[in-house]
Structure 1
């Protein structure tokens, strides 16, 4: 199948960790992820029901190998000075935004250029997006995962 790009936006809150955890919860509850064993291409009698917990999801061998092609493949928010590892999401700092895109406070209009930030498979990024007055309005998460 190959890796999939994914992106999400949530209303701004000061606690990035809480925003990240809330987003993961929402994606799981809304079934907004790839669940191969229950995919519509399978005959109905061969489909497995959607998992009732993340533990059940990750216990499935196919998910362990292929992932979910979503933020659910990312397990931990790291600090801006931490080295990224598989399964982590790293925030964009104002300094990085200035260096890469020429602006300290990013807006929704900057999103198409986010490919210029470093990114790898099985790794995510997040950035606070501001309105025209420079007030934070949303947190944008994006990354690539899945096989």
Structure 2
């Protein structure tokens, strides 16, 4: 199947880890992810039921192999001193934004240029987006995952 790109916007909150977890639960509840046993060739009535919890979803061997092609493949936000690793999301720092885009405060207008920020498969990035007065408004999470 190959990896899938994904992007989400959530209202700003200071705690990025909490924002990530809230987003993950929303995507899970809305079934906004790929689940191999829910997308097979059989009629829906003959398929296995969708998992009741995120934990149950991740107990499935197919999910470990193929992922969900969504933010559900990301478990935690890493700190500034940590190295990016599988299933993590790395925030864009003000210095990194300045180095790549010439600004310290990103806005939604910068989103189309986010490909300049280094990332890898099965990892994500996030950025706080500001309004015209420099107030934090949203958090953008993006990346690509799945096989």
- Normalising by the smaller structure, the TM-score range is over 0.9
User: In the alignment, which residue of structure 2 is the partner of 1:119?
Assistant: 119
Deviates further, 13-22 or 108-117: 13-22
Aligned to 2:61: 61
Closer, same or farther in 2 for the Cα pair 1:44/1:14, shift >3 Å? closer
Q: Which stretches of structure 1, 4 residues or more, deviate above 6 A after TM superposition?
A: none
Separation in 2 of the partners of 1:55 and 1:105?
Answer: 36
Unaligned runs of 5+ in 1: none
Q: Which moved more, 1:88-97 or 1:37-46?
A: 37-46
What does residue 144 of structure 1 align with? 144
Indicate the residue corresponding to 2:23 in structure 1: 23
Name the residue aligned to 1:87. Answer: 87
Q: CA deviation at 1:145?
A: 0.3
| CA deviation after TM superposition for structure 1 residue 43, in Å | 3.1
The TM-score, its normalising length taken from structure 1, stands at: 0.95
What is the CA distance between 1:42 and its match in structure 2?
Answer: 3.0
Q: Which residue of 1 aligns with 2:37?
A: 37
Gaps of 5+ in 2: none
Question: 1:119 Cα deviation (Å)?
Answer: 0.8
Query: Any idea what the Cα deviations from partners look like across 1:16-74, whole Å, max 9, x if unmatched?
Result: 11111111111111111101111164333542111001121111121110000011101
What corresponds to 1:99 in structure 2?
A: 99
CA distance in 1, matches of 2:123, 2:131: 27
Corresponding residue SS for 2:144: strand
Q: Which range moves more in the overlay, 35-44 or 74-83? A: 35-44
